[in-house]
Every structure is written in C-alpha cells, then in structure tokens.
Amino acid sequence: MSTATTPSASPAPARSNTGSASRPGGARAVLASVGGQNLSLIGALVLVVVLFTSLNANFLSWDNMRVIGEAATIAGLLAVVQTVVIICGGLDISVGSQTGLASVISAMVFTSAGSSAPLGIAAALLVGAAVGLVNGAVIIYGRVNPTIATLAGLAAYKGVAQLLSDGRAQGYVLGDPVFVFLSRGSLAGIPIMIWILALVAAAVHVLLTYTDIGRNIYALGGNDTAARLAGINLNKYLLAAYALTGTVAALAGILLTARTGSGQPVSGSEGLELQAITAAALGGCALKGGKGTIGGTLLAVALLGTLQNGLTIQGINTFWQNVAQGLLLVAAVVIQQRRNRERAVGLPA
C-alpha cells in the first residue's frame, strides 16, 4: 500500500497498468473496461443466473432483478470509490462505519431540524467529506499505513455513531417525501437508488478514463516515485481520493436511512467494507495500486449481489454467504498474484 512516503529514485515515466497512456476511446473503451478484461466475470455471472433460474423459475423475473439492484446499490457505491482509493495505492476499511455514521447524522439532523430532509442530507455529506479528509490526513501527514489508519477509523467512526445514537436506530424519516423518493421512487421503471449508483459510477469512470486527474491517479498507484518526479502532487490526489470516498460513503448512509426509515448506527452497515473490497478485487483492481476499472468493479458487484440473492432464495444461512464472500476475496487475490508472477517471467496472463 502506498502512503505519502516517496523515496527518490527511478526516473521512469509513470504509467498505468490499465494503459492510461494508450487508452482507447468511445465504444472501444467500454469494451475494454467491461468486456475485454472481465470476460471471466461475465461468464461467472451468466452461470450464476442460469444456475439459480434452473432452481427457481421466478429468479429471473423483473421484480427479483429489481430487488437485486436495490440491494446492491449501497455496496456498489462503496465499491466504486474503494476502486479509486485502491488505484491510488491506498485502502479504506472504514467505509462501512462511515456509512453508519452518516446514516445516524442524516436522521438525527432531520429530526432536530423539524423534519428537514435537505438539512439532514447536507449534514451527512459534510460529515462524510470531513471523515474522508481525516483519513487522508492521518495517512499522508501522519505517515500511517492506510490499512492501519482506516482500521482505526472503522472502530472510531462506529463508536461515534453508537455514542450519538446510544446504539439504537435514531430519527424516523418514514413518510418524508424526499426519503420516500430516494427509497421507493423510480424513473423509466428503474429505482432511483440504481440511477444514483449509475450516475456516480459514470462520473468516476469518466474522471478516471478521460481526464488528466484520472491519469495522475493511475500513475500515483502504479509508481509513486515516478509520479512525484513527473511533478504530480501525490498528497493532493490521495487527500481528494479519501474525501471522495467519505462523501460517497455518506451518500450510501443517506440511502440506508431512506431504505430502513431511520438512522442505523451499526445494523445495515456492517460488512459493507468487505463487500466493497471484494468487489474491487474481483473486478480486477490490483491491491498494490495502479490498476482497476469501474466497469470491472460493477460487474463484480452484480455477481456478488446476484449470488447473495440466489443463496437467500435457496434458504442458505447468511453466515455461509459471508464465508462464500470471504473465499471469493481470497480467490481473487490468489489469481491476481499468479497473474503478476506470470507477467514477471514473461508468460501470458
């Protein structure tokens, strides 16, 4: 994992493993990010759908697809920004706790401000951005390993949420038109929550693929020494990446509040960090940084969400679902390391 520390050597130009210097445009970019590098994910998703459809004829119904999409939205938002942080060479284990804290803040401010949804939402987003900046500052200026820093954040933010809420659901938003719109609204038959995930994912994809900011982010994770020698302000990009993560985690917390009707200090946000990291790794993110795509991450989110839904329909215990998710994460890392070794010795990946 990369921190703000940067030894001085290696004047090699900073290049992304995703090919930032030769990134195709238009439809080719979509195929490259979604299909070209992730055919195995697409194949796995098709197999899972065929398997569960054969077990339950209603699995492929529109209603169930809608359930899968809505259930995967919150984890999907966190996976998208986790992808950015990992590409930078970092990691954020505290995103689940950030989501719970934002959920509590949004509901409590909503209630104390006379049922004002805009104030509740604004307060949660501000707290999320501030928490992200704190994470980034600890990593950059405190020179703390990202895993350790955000592990501490996981405990601290969960503790703050529990202190504020006394460990219970807080502030009821049921019936408020804004939160009802977020949780139950739809556009062209597609739930608003899914539209929000799509918009955030599209914006981050464009940022990473078509802007100098994106190229610098890949360069930072691929070779931070070369990036610094190329004049890239590493601290600025790392700080912005963690602030973005905190803000989007807060957005996920607001959607959690809308779905459950109240602020959730722990329930509903536990395990989200594992889902986000698993999706990013399965989607092709190199955990050492410098490589990853939003298309791959979204495919992994779809695979995990579909698998979880199918197992739930079949009555498989939630604990076993967690075991399956952990095994998928281990498998993704093992496959990634094997490919890295094959590339190192010049064998086809």
Lookup result for tokens 């609204």? 185
End-to-end CA distance of the chain: give it in Å, rounded. 23
Which residues lie closer than 8 Å to 32 by C-beta, 6 or more apart? 23, 24
Q: What pairing do the DSSP bridges indicate for beta strands 186-187 and 190-191?
A: antiparallel
pLDDT at 1: 47
- Give dist(CA 265, CA 275) in Å, integer: 18
Residue by residue, pLDDT tens for the chain (349 residues) are 444 443 333 334 444 444 444 444 455 555 555 455 578 888 889 999 999 999 988 898 999 999 999 989 999 999 999 999 999 999 999 999 999 999 999 999 999 988 899 999 999 999 999 999 999 999 999 999 999 999 999 999 999 999 998 888 887 888 899 999 999 999 999 999 999 999 999 999 999 999 999 999 999 888 888 888 888 888 999 999 999 999 999 999 999 999 999 888 876 667 899 889 999 998 989 888 899 999 999 999 999 999 999 999 988 888 888 888 788 878 877 876 777 677 666 655 4
Token output for 30 = 């979509």
Token output for 58 = 């209603």
- Give dist(CA 217, CA 16) in Å, integer: 9
pTM score of the predicted model: 0.84
- Alpha helices, DSSP H only, in 142-269? 146-165, 177-184, 192-210, 212-222, 224-229, 234-260
Lookup result for tokens 């055919």? 39
pLDDT at 21: 40
Residue 14 near residue 230, CB atoms below 8 Å: yes
DSSP string covering 8-36? S---PPP--TT-GGG---HHHHHIIIIII
Buried b (16+ CB within 10 A) or exposed e, 148-187: bbbbebbebbbebbbeebeeebbbbbeebebbeebbeeee
Q: What is the three-class DSSP state of 7?
A: coil
Buried b (16+ CB within 10 A) or exposed e, 223-240: bbbbbbbeebebbebbbb
User: What is the 3-state composition of the chain as percent helix, strand, coil, each rounded to the nearest 5?
Assistant: 70, 5, 25
Token output for 188 = 């062209």
- Give dist(CA 46, CA 170) in Å, integer: 40
Within 10 Å of residue 335's Cβ, how many Cβ atoms?
Answer: 15
pLDDT at 268: 64
